[in-house]
Amino acid sequence: MGRVLFEQQVQAAIPSDPQLVLVTDLDGTLLAGDRRDRLTLYRWLASEREHVLHLFATGRDLRSIGALFDDPLHEDLGRPHLVIGDVGCTVACGQSLQEVPLVVDAIEELWQGYAERVLQLTRNQRGLSPQPVVSRRRHAFHAEPDLLDPDLMRQLEAIGVDCLLSDGRYLDVLPAGVNKGTTLRRVIALLELTHLPVVVAGDTLNDLAMFQQGYHGIIVGNAEEPLLQRLDDVSGVYLARGHGCSGILEGLRHHGFGPSSGTAAV
C-alpha cells in the first residue's frame, strides 16, 4: 500500500523491477571527477534507467537542484527518479521536483515550533550568515567555524534540533532525527525495496548518516577529512582513489555493480 500511494504522489515512473538502488550526493560527488568518467556514469544511468533506481541525496534545495538541468556545465546530467534534498528534509520527484507529501509532511510536523526559536538563537551570531535556500523544514547557514561561538551548537541542540557542520563551511539546523540516512531508509521502506542492494556515495560529513545505514558505501577520493575521521562506526564502505564520478565508478566495480559488470547488478 505504501508503494502505491508513494508512486501516486510522485506521478512519475519508478522502475517496476529494479535490481539496484544508487544514491549519490551531488557537489563533490556526482558533479565532480574526470569528464570522461562523468559521461560514462551518466550514460550508464540513462541506459539502465529501468534497472537502477537513482536518487540524488544533497544539501541543495529544490530550486538549486532544478537550476542544474539548465546549466550548460551539466548538460549531460540526467534527472534521477527521486530527489532527497535539504540534507534529508525534502523528498521530491526527480522529473517534476514536486514534493512527496507521504514523506515530507511527517518531517514538517517535526519542525513545527522550532523555526523561530532557531532564528532567535542564531540572530547576529558572529561567523554565521543565512544561506539563500528555500525550505520550510530546516535553516541553513554559511559558517566560519573559527569565528563561531563554540557553545552555539550545544544551545541549539538543547532546544530539540540537530546541527550538522559539513565541508567546513555549511551549518544545517534540522528537525531532530532527520538526515539523509533516515530519510533514505524511509523512502526505501515505503517503496518496498528493502530486499534490494543499495549503494550510497558521498564526500562530506552530511553524507555520514547514509553510510551508517548498513548499505554498500562509496566515499570518493576528494572526501573531506572530518568524514574520514568518522568511519570507525560504519561498515561496508569503500574508500575510492578517484574523485567524484571517477570514485563512484571505482566503488561500483568494487561492490560488483556498474558499467564494467555488463548489467546493473550481478
- Which pLDDT score, from 0 to 100, does residue 143 have? 95
Q: Compute and round to an integer the Cα radius of gyration of the chain.
A: 18
Environment class of 203 (CB within 10 Å of its CB; exposed 0-12, middle 13-18, buried 19+): buried
List the strands of the sheet with 90-93, edge to edge.
90-93, 82-85, 52-57, 20-24, 198-202, 216-219, 237-239
146-171: pLDDT as tens digits: 999 989 999 999 999 999 999 989 99
Domain boundaries, the chain: 2-102+178-261, 108-175
Within 13 Å, how many C-alpha atoms sit on residue 94's CB side? 18
Rounded-to-integer distance, Cα 212 and Cα 184, Å: 11
Rounded-to-integer distance, Cα 27 and Cα 24, Å: 10
Please give, one letter per residue, the 3-state secondary structure of 85-108. EHHHCEEEECCCCCECHHHHHHHH
Nearest by Cα to 161 from 203, 119, 222, 201: 119
Beta bridge partners of 200: 23, 217
State what percent of residues in the chain have pLDDT above 70. Answer: 97
For the domain made up of 108-175, give the CATH fold. Hypothetical Protein Ta0175; Chain: A, domain 2 (3.90.1070)
Nearest by Cα to 58 from 80, 36, 84: 84
- Note whether 2-102+178-261 and 108-175 share their fold: no
Rounded-to-integer distance, Cα 131 and Cα 140, Å: 5
For the domain made up of 2-102+178-261, give the CATH fold. Rossmann fold (3.40.50)
Alpha helices (H) along 13-82: 35-47, 62-68
Q: Share the mean pLDDT of the chain.
A: 94
- Residue 11's pLDDT band (cuts 50, 70, 90): confident
- Residue 47's pLDDT band (cuts 50, 70, 90): very high
- Which pLDDT score, from 0 to 100, does residue 212 have? 97
Please give, one letter per residue, the 3-state secondary structure of 187-211. HHHHCCCCCCCEEEEECCHHHHHHH
173-228: pLDDT as tens digits: 999 999 999 999 999 999 999 999 999 999 999 999 999 999 999 999 999 999 99
**C-alpha cell recorded at residue 220:** 570518493
Verdict on whether the full-model pTM lies above 0.75: yes
Helix axes 35-47 and 244-255, enclosed angle (nearest 10) = 50
